[in-house]
Chain A
Amino acid sequence: VGLVSEVEGQLAELRALEAADGTPVLRTSVLTHVVWAPPKWAGAALETLAGLEERHPSRTILLFPEPGRKAEIDVTVSMRCFALQGVSHEVCSEVIELRLRGKRARVPASIVTPLLIADLPTFCRWRGEPPWGAQELDQLVGVCDRLVVDSSEWRGLPGSYGELSGIFGRVAVSDIAWGRSRAWRGRLAELWPEIRGIRRLAVTGPRADALLLAGWLRSRLKRKSIELEHRSAKELGRVAVDGEAVAAPVGAPPSASDLLSEELDVFGRDPIYEAAVKAA
């Protein structure tokens, strides 16, 4: 029995168990969600998932690469079920955890492709900085409709944005750091038309968010000369235009699950983001 048959068989058994009381299990999917999480990111990936599945019921395929070990694949299958308010049914999502060891970590597409749900979009969340030019990245970009990254998890900024822009033609890209800056971009947009002459942008927050904001202004306003003054902080907390502080957006910033969830609602390329990355 092959791995895929084994996975499908285990899922069928789990569905039968869930339906043991005679109530049929509803399996609802709006997408296939593939997560690439190197060991360092495994915990964070599972944590984000907990807040996400209820909003985007999907088949989730968690890929944990462990290239330094003996070549094998370890698989765990589970169902996460949620009661629906006022209804006797439960809705279940499938989670397939695959530990790709040794060489198997270089060829994820052959394992992922047969497990994708047909006719639904595939979103790949890549935790950490992708290994630009590596086979595993190349393969997953090939099977995904949308690659979701968080460039604030990267160390090689701003150079990595150049690498990222190299794959724009192959797959639509979402960046959690870009989503996080949305409310601030709204604030900056309110400064139109005075903001047309901006010379200096000061940002206190993650480096990625600051670079993207500056890139966005440079590309939208067609002013390459806008200088960025960045002060590092965990959260995007202050933005100033030519020394003048911009009013902060109202309310608490969205959670990691909220941000990822918003990206999973987006289809197609985002030319504004792509231009911001190129100008960052």
Chain B
Amino acid sequence: VSAPEGNPLLEGLRLRRRPEPCVLVIFGASGDLTKRKLFPALYSLAVRRLLPERFAVIGVARTEQSTKQWVTAMRKAVEEHGRDEFDAEVWSALADAMTYVATDFADDRGEDAVLDVLRRLDEERGTAGNRLYYLAVPPAAFETIVHELGERRGSEGWTRLIVEKPFGHDRASAHALNEILARWFREDEVFRIDHYLGKETVQNMLALRFANGIFEPIWNRQFIDHVQITVAESIGIEGRGAFYEQAGVIRDVFQNHLLQLVALTAMEPPIDFTADSVRNEKVKVMRSLHTPGPKSVVRGQYGSGFVEGEEVAGYREEPGVAPDSMTETYVAAKLFVDNWRWADTPFYVRAGKRLARRETTIAIQFQRAPHPPFAEVAGDGLRPNVLLIHVQPDEGVSLAVGAKVPGQGMSIRTVHMDFLYGGAFRTGLPEAYERLILDAMLGDATLFTRADEVDEEWALVDSIVAAWQRDRPVFPNYEAGTWGPRSADELIHRDGRSWRRH
């Protein structure tokens, strides 16, 4: 085996991947995402010494404040939302690398001010012209920032751009955004974030399928009866009325997180774990997805009710929501993946707000045993095997199997064999943003979505939404704290199946 880069001292050295020197520039640095996710993630990376040795962060936002005030606000955010115990020494090193620039994104002078700081940091901290821009901004600011960054990009070092969702609101707008990006950046410089892909359990789906010889041979229409994917939230819209009125659950969750879970479940084995190999396979799934017709999609909106014992308002009573809003907070659909592996195998998917509990799961329901000789004495009926992948919370995998109840006779019960992630690997699961920010610094786009993936996701969403223009359901149609509208049950009951028991 030849030594890496011709250096014999690097061979066999199990050093952690550490990115090259760079500056991270966060647009939207005073926003909620930066406080709740980005800085806690940066801090956790600093604790584990995974940030580059020569590193700096520039925060850019409209809010007028000094660097000192911004640093104080971010420290508070880390103390409040971080997963690690606060260590003043680690924070101090990170805080030394932080600079805040208050500016309007559309203001040329502001952009020039950012550029001045970048040049200064390159000199002072040796960041070598490497830039990672994080666009944690509303969609309206997107085009201006991309344009300004493109115009000012230097010739030294690398430039990468992390783009937050929502990426467009339909296929045409996503296409337009991709064109704006393509004008200034190569596809391998663009990192469209879907934080679900940064979750350990989502990546474990790939490990489960492709690192275990026992699953892949039965991972097809011959052995699987159907697949159920649930992305349920018990919270409401958390003050995001204006955004949610435009998006609804179909653009907020279905178009991205949910379809990504479908793709990872249905994709063919990639030839390797490089960004393009994995994404090529996911795109093939997206292209073969269809829903058999308007009756196979159900939408809902929550009314008032009780969630975990607390009385909560209905969607239309939420601040920023029209009293006659027709925005959906729940969607359920039957999808088909038109290929040899999955033909005629339904994927029942559902996502919603204010449901009975927070839960993201992928349930693979296998065909029933063809001829169980002891069916007559089965305790609760001989239920089919279900492989359940818990994405959140309680990350792990469980397999429902039939087992004999000890004693006389031949009574069969379904028991769950659980593998809890936290039980086997108690290293503390990293937050999705830690992994994704680090990957972007390293230039690894495997866990980010590519332009053609986004395009295919929107194609499906557009076809669903187009049908919605023709009818006007009676909203609200489900009570907060329940598992969604009755029509969602009817959708699956029509096929002689039912949603998983909760």
A85 within 8 A of B: yes
* Minimal beta-carbon separation of A208 from chain B (angstroms): 18
Given contacts A185-B9, A193-B7, A220-B9, contact A55 B426 (CB under 8 A): yes
Residues from chain A with a CB closer than 8 A to the CB of B423 are 26, 28, 57, 84, 89, 91
25-58 of chain A: CB within 8 A of chain B: 26, 28, 30, 54-55, 57
How many residues belonging to A are interface residues under a CB distance threshold of 8 Å?
Answer: 32
Would you call B422 and A85 a contact (CB within 8 A)?
Answer: yes
B394 within 8 A of A: yes
Contact flags B38-56 to A (C-beta < 8 A → 1, else 0): 0000000000010001000
Bound-state CA distance A250–B14 (Å) is 16
B12 within 8 A of A: yes
157-211 of chain A: CB within 8 A of chain B: 182, 185-186, 188-189, 192-193, 195
B427 within 8 A of A: yes
Residues from chain B with a CB closer than 8 A to the CB of A220 are 8-9, 11
B211 within 8 A of A: no
Would you call B49 and A182 a contact (CB within 8 A)?
Answer: no
Residues from chain A with a CB closer than 8 A to the CB of B12 are 270-273
Q: Which of A85, A87, A221 contacts B8 (CB 8 A)?
A: A221
Would you call A192 and B9 a contact (CB within 8 A)?
Answer: yes
Contact flags A219-248 to B (C-beta < 8 A → 1, else 0): 011000000000000000000000000000
Q: Which of A89, A185, A217, A250 contacts B53 (CB 8 A)?
A: A250
Bound-state CA distance A273–B13 (Å) is 10
398-455 of chain B: CB within 8 A of chain A: 418-420, 422-427
Would you call A86 and B393 a contact (CB within 8 A)?
Answer: yes
Bound-state CA distance A49–B15 (Å) is 24
Would you call A182 and B420 a contact (CB within 8 A)?
Answer: no
* Minimal beta-carbon separation of A83 from chain B (angstroms): 10
Residues from chain A with a CB closer than 8 A to the CB of B218 are none
Q: Across the A-B interface, how many residue pairs have beta carbons closer than 8 Å? A: 69
Would you call B424 and A192 a contact (CB within 8 A)?
Answer: no
Q: Which of B10, B13, B420 contacts A87 (CB 8 A)?
A: B420
Q: Which of A85, A87, A189 contacts B7 (CB 8 A)?
A: A189
Residues from chain A with a CB closer than 8 A to the CB of B11 are 220, 272
Residues from chain A with a CB closer than 8 A to the CB of B393 are 86-87
Would you call B15 and A186 a contact (CB within 8 A)?
Answer: yes
Residues from chain B with a CB closer than 8 A to the CB of A193 are 7
> Please, which residue of chain A has its CB at the minimum distance from the CB of B415?
A24
* Minimal beta-carbon separation of B78 from chain A (angstroms): 18
Bound-state CA distance A189–B7 (Å) is 7
Would you call B420 and A89 a contact (CB within 8 A)?
Answer: yes
Given contacts A28-B424, A57-B424, contact A87 B394 (CB under 8 A): yes
* Minimal beta-carbon separation of A10 from chain B (angstroms): 21
* Minimal beta-carbon separation of A89 from chain B (angstroms): 7
Would you call B424 and A30 a contact (CB within 8 A)?
Answer: yes
A68 within 8 A of B: no
Would you call B7 and A192 a contact (CB within 8 A)?
Answer: yes
Q: Which of A26, A188, A189 contacts B420 (CB 8 A)?
A: A26
Bound-state CA distance A188–B9 (Å) is 8
Residues from chain A with a CB closer than 8 A to the CB of B425 are 30, 55
Would you call B418 and A26 a contact (CB within 8 A)?
Answer: yes
* Minimal beta-carbon separation of A204 from chain B (angstroms): 20
Main secondary structure of the interface of B (DSSP, over half): loop
Would you call B10 and A189 a contact (CB within 8 A)?
Answer: yes
Residues from chain B with a CB closer than 8 A to the CB of A182 are 13-15
> Please, which residue of chain A has its CB at the minimum distance from the CB of B90?
A251
Bound-state CA distance A91–B426 (Å) is 10
Residues from chain A with a CB closer than 8 A to the CB of B10 are 189, 192
A82 within 8 A of B: yes
Residues from chain B with a CB closer than 8 A to the CB of A195 are 9
Bound-state CA distance A193–B10 (Å) is 11
Bound-state CA distance A57–B426 (Å) is 8
Would you call B422 and A87 a contact (CB within 8 A)?
Answer: yes
Q: Which of B14, B15, B49, B420 contacts A28 (CB 8 A)?
A: B420
> Please, which residue of chain B has its CB at the minimum distance from the CB of A250?
B49
* Minimal beta-carbon separation of B220 from chain A (angstroms): 27
> Please, which residue of chain B has its CB at the minimum distance from the CB of A247?
B53
Contact flags B4-37 to A (C-beta < 8 A → 1, else 0): 0001111111110000000000000000000000
Bound-state CA distance A62–B499 (Å) is 48
* Minimal beta-carbon separation of A226 from chain B (angstroms): 13
> Please, which residue of chain A has its CB at the minimum distance from the CB of B10?
A189
Residues from chain A with a CB closer than 8 A to the CB of B7 are 189, 192-193
Bound-state CA distance A271–B425 (Å) is 27
Q: Which of B8, B13, B53, B420 contacts A91 (CB 8 A)?
A: B420
* Minimal beta-carbon separation of A161 from chain B (angstroms): 18
* Minimal beta-carbon separation of B46 from chain A (angstroms): 10
Residues from chain B with a CB closer than 8 A to the CB of A86 are 393-394
Would you call B426 and A185 a contact (CB within 8 A)?
Answer: no
Would you call A82 and B418 a contact (CB within 8 A)?
Answer: no
Residues from chain A with a CB closer than 8 A to the CB of B8 are 192, 220-221
Would you call A82 and B426 a contact (CB within 8 A)?
Answer: yes
Residues from chain B with a CB closer than 8 A to the CB of A266 are 14
Would you call B422 and A91 a contact (CB within 8 A)?
Answer: yes
Bound-state CA distance A151–B393 (Å) is 43
Contact flags A102-121 to B (C-beta < 8 A → 1, else 0): 00000000000000000000
Bound-state CA distance A275–B335 (Å) is 57
Bound-state CA distance A216–B13 (Å) is 11
> Please, which residue of chain A has its CB at the minimum distance from the CB of B427?
A55
Bound-state CA distance A164–B278 (Å) is 44
Bound-state CA distance A26–B426 (Å) is 14
Bound-state CA distance A195–B7 (Å) is 10
Bound-state CA distance A217–B393 (Å) is 48
> Please, which residue of chain B has its CB at the minimum distance from the CB of A273?
B12
Would you call B420 and A84 a contact (CB within 8 A)?
Answer: yes
Contact flags A45-78 to B (C-beta < 8 A → 1, else 0): 0000000001101000000000000000000000
> Please, which residue of chain B has its CB at the minimum distance from the CB of A29?
B424
* Minimal beta-carbon separation of B245 from chain A (angstroms): 32
Bound-state CA distance A38–B245 (Å) is 69
Would you call A84 and B14 a contact (CB within 8 A)?
Answer: no
* Minimal beta-carbon separation of B316 from chain A (angstroms): 32
Q: List 21 A-B contacts (CB under 8 A).
A: A26-B418, A28-B423, A54-B426, A84-B420, A84-B423, A89-B418, A89-B423, A91-B420, A182-B14, A182-B15, A186-B13, A188-B9, A189-B13, A192-B7, A192-B8, A193-B7, A195-B9, A217-B9, A221-B9, A272-B11, A272-B12
Residues of A bordering B, CB below 8 Å:
26, 28, 30, 54-55, 57, 82, 84-87, 89, 91, 182, 185-186, 188-189, 192-193, 195, 216-217, 220-221, 250-251, 266, 270-273
Q: A55-B427, A195-B9, A220-B11 given. 13 additional CB < 8 A pairs?
A: A57-B423, A84-B422, A85-B422, A86-B394, A87-B393, A91-B422, A182-B15, A186-B15, A189-B9, A192-B9, A193-B7, A250-B49, A266-B14
Residues of B bordering A, CB below 8 Å:
7-15, 49, 53, 393-394, 418-420, 422-427
Chain A to chain B: the 10 pairs with minimum beta-carbon distance, closest first: A272-B12, A189-B9, A91-B423, A28-B423, A192-B7, A220-B8, A54-B426, A84-B422, A186-B15, A28-B424
